């Protein structure tokens, strides 16, 4: 957390404990919660636990890759009701090995949720999983294919911005010598379009939580890539510049 604060991040994202909360508050870092669930009772416990620690925004990776869309949508409705009663802004992430792992599964869940509630599904957008599942190529087609849910994107307040291309769920930001990679420049162009789309919408709550996300686990990082932390710090800087450009265009 000292490193996060020193790098001038606004907050920290994770599943919070009292110890992590104390560390965030001591350093003036905002808290963005996240978790996963495979049952309704598990999710309820986690939502209550995060609410007790003072979190408002929470991201959920929910259910499994083989959960039927009808079941997933029904559970999303019930979890949303629990979250509203707790005063939480719950978002469901587009993520591998969950009920939302492909565009088709996600779209059906979102449609069923809308039919059951009359509301839009609150989504944490991580487009990297959709891009890899479809092997989108060339980069020029990222935006038309990945921004195909404009109202749902504009309704969101959480983006997970993991640099990706059509073959890799995570790509390096730099070449290890401080220069931006060609792949990242293509990704940055996509993010600009994503930001502009969100800014042209209703801007719910007047704020967007954007997590510059790069991981070490689950095969995200290849052994030949630069250190993740220095790339994340650079990613934050590049996203801020991109946000300013998007504000101007929007």
**Mean pLDDT score, 5-13:** 96
Asked if residue 246 has pLDDT above 90, the reply is: yes
Residue 224 belongs to what domain range?
A: 126-250
Domain annotation covers residue 216: yes
- pLDDT value of residue 1: 95
Domain annotation covers residue 106: no
Domain annotation covers residue 204: yes
Residue 160, beta-bridge partner list: 211
**Mean pLDDT score, 37-52:** 93
Residues 207-228 pLDDT 10s: 999 999 998 888 888 888 888 9
Q: Residue 64 — very low, low, confident or very high, per pLDDT cuts 50/70/90?
A: very high
Residues 18-31 pLDDT 10s: 999 999 999 999 99
Helix, strand, coil share (%) of the chain residues, nearest 5: 50, 15, 35
Q: Residue 172 — very low, low, confident or very high, per pLDDT cuts 50/70/90?
A: very high
Asked if residue 166 has pLDDT above 90, the reply is: no
Domain annotation covers residue 12: no
**Mean pLDDT score, 147-176:** 96
Q: What is the DSSP string of 16-82?
A: --HHHHHHHHHTT-EEEEEEEESSHHHHHHHHHHHHHTT--EEEEEES-TTS-HHHHHHHHHHHHHH
Domain annotation covers residue 112: no
Paired tokens of 153:
């994107």
SS3 label, residue 202: coil
Domain annotation covers residue 113: no
Domain annotation covers residue 100: no
| Vertex 92 angle, CA 86 and 93, to 5° | 140
Asked if residue 136 has pLDDT above 90, the reply is: no
Asked if residue 138 has pLDDT above 90, the reply is: no
Domain total of the chain: 1
Domain annotation covers residue 200: yes
**Mean pLDDT score, 105-116:** 98
Residues 65-102 pLDDT 10s: 999 999 999 999 999 999 999 999 999 999 999 999 99
Q: What share of the chain has pLDDT > 70, as a percent? A: 100
Asked if residue 137 has pLDDT above 90, the reply is: no
Residues 186-212 pLDDT 10s: 999 999 999 999 999 999 999 999 999
């Amino acid at each position: 957390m000292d490193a996060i604060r020193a790098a001038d991040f606004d907050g920290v994202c994770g599943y919070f404990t009292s110890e992590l909360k104390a560390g965030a508050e001591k350093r003036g870092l905002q808290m963005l919660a996240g978790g996963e669930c495979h049952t309704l009772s598990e999710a309820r416990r986690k939502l209550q636990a995060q609410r007790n620690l003072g979190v408002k925004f929470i991201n959920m990776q929910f259910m499994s890759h083989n959960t039927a869309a009808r079941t997933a949508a029904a559970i999303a409705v019930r979890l949303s009701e629990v979250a509203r009663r707790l005063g939480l802004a719950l978002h469901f992430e587009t993520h591998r090995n969950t009920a939302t792992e492909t565009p088709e599964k996600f779209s059906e869940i979102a449609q069923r949720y809308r039919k059951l509630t009359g509301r839009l599904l609150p989504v944490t957008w991580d487009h990297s999983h959709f891009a890899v599942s479809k092997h989108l190529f060339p980069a020029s087609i990222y935006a038309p294919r990945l921004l195909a849910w404009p109202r749902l994107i504009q309704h969101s307040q959480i983006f997970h911005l993991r640099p990706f291309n059509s073959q890799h769920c995570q790509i390096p930001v730099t070449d290890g010598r401080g220069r931006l990679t060609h792949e990242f420049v293509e990704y940055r162009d996509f993010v600009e379009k994503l930001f502009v789309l969100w800014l042209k919408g209703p801007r719910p709550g007047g704020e967007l939580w954007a997590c510059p996300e790069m991981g070490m686990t689950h095969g995200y990082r290849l052994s030949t890539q630069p250190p993740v932390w220095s790339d994340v710090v650079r990613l934050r800087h590049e996203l801020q510049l991109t946000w300013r450009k998007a504000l101007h265009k929007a």
